[in-house]
Amino acid sequence: MSDRFQAIFIGKTDRGQTVELKELSNADLMDGDVTVEVEHSTVNYKDGLALTGKAPILRKYPLIPGVDFSGTVSASSHAEFKPGDKVVLNGWGVGESHHGGYAGRARVPGDWLVRLPDQVSTGEAMAIGTAGYTAMLAVMALQEQGVRPGEGEVLVTGAAGGLGSVAIALLSKVGYTVIASTGRLSEEPYLKSLGANGVVDRGEFSTPVKPLGRMRWAGAVDSVGSITLANVLSQTQYGGTVAACGLAQGSDLPATVMPFILRGVKLVGIDSVHCPKTRRIEAWRRLARDLDKSKLAAMTTHVKLAEVPRIASEIVAGRIRGRVVVDI
């Protein structure tokens, strides 16, 4: 096996970030007890922010970005893994403070890895990616909080993005009536093909927030944050739950306590980065069972490593539909 591999490398100068595709060696890798031959990564919204420098995602320079990857173990001193195992990694600071997935090889602590279910290939794992895995955590949270099919419509904001696309497919598969919110109404046929029962303009959630709006949603998966999340909370039915898992519009929340104390609305935060391993394993088990692979394929495009910086700019600008897999 060659000691050399290609990687995207982000540096920092007085003028700002530098992004280049370069050849590295095993000596450039960071500490860890498992080495993985990376087969696929993906471009999540957080990756877009990191590569464009639009937000301070990277906490160390120079660094290989990419917050997730899938591949095959080539060396391991960790008790749980052996060469040949197919694995996936999401979060744990990879692509932020530890070298990430935009490289042909990664060395990481084995405790950060999850063995892929037999039904999920490494390519499919990154078609799902951190966005899809986070969507699964959000769906699990709604179910655990008692949001059941038949009790009303479930809203998905940022619906045409990667997280929203997977959330629609998952919710539809397990019986929910799903309404998709998007700023790209031209994507209505795509969203309905994933299982959305209806599509609404995201502008409906950009108006000044009323302390209590008309009750509309039994639950919601929100990847937008800010005024959108505040409006969704004000429109959630009595006892309903909103799973918050993104901040594409902003990290602020201009809401009141009224939905919580007068309607018993619950706001559940979804953290995918430091999620406990047992819950990660359950999320991937559920993804293997509940995600329609034909819908996953329909929402996925593939690019090469050299194309990642361009895709990063596109995803931050809101011009990417569904999921983008990086074929390493």
The predicted pLDDT at position 15 comes to 86
Number of helices (H) and strands (E) in the chain: give both, helices first: 9, 15
In the structure, what pLDDT confidence band is assigned to residue 212 with cuts at 50, 70 and 90?
Answer: very high
DSSP 53: T
> In 10 A of CB 235, how many CB atoms?
23
- For residues 39-53, average pLDDT: 95
Residue 2 predicted with pLDDT over 90: no
Does the pLDDT value for residue 122 go beyond 80? yes
pLDDT at 234 over 80: yes
> 141-173: per-residue pLDDT in tens?
999 999 999 999 999 999 999 999 999 999 999
Residue 30 has a pLDDT of 97
Mean pLDDT of 64-89: 98
Q: Is residue 98 a contact partner of residue 130, using CB atoms and an 8 Å limit?
A: no
Q: What is the pLDDT of residue 297?
A: 96
Q: What is the mean predicted confidence (pLDDT) over 93-113?
A: 97
b/e map of 14-23 (b: 16 or more CB within 10 Å)? eeeeebeeee
Please name every residue paired with 113 in a beta bridge, in sequence order, or none if there are none. Answer: 89
For the chain, list the domains and their CATH numbers: 4-116+292-327 (3.90.180.10), 131-269 (3.40.50.720)
Alpha helices in 174-272 (DSSP H): 188-194, 226-234, 258-262
Mean pLDDT of the chain: 96
Over 80: is that where the pLDDT of 1 sits?
no
Can you tell me the distance from the alpha carbon of 52 to that of 313, in angstroms, rounded to the nearest whole number? 6
User: Which residues make beta-bridge pairs with 107?
Assistant: 35
Beta strands in 14-130 (DSSP E): 16-25, 34-42, 68-76, 86-90, 105-108, 113-115
Q: How many whole angstroms separate alpha carbon 38 and alpha carbon 328?
A: 7
Question: Rounded mean pLDDT of 282-291?
Answer: 97
pLDDT score for 155: 98
Predicted confidence (pLDDT) at residue 211 exceeds the cutoff of 80: yes
Separation CA 71–CA 221 (nearest Å): 29
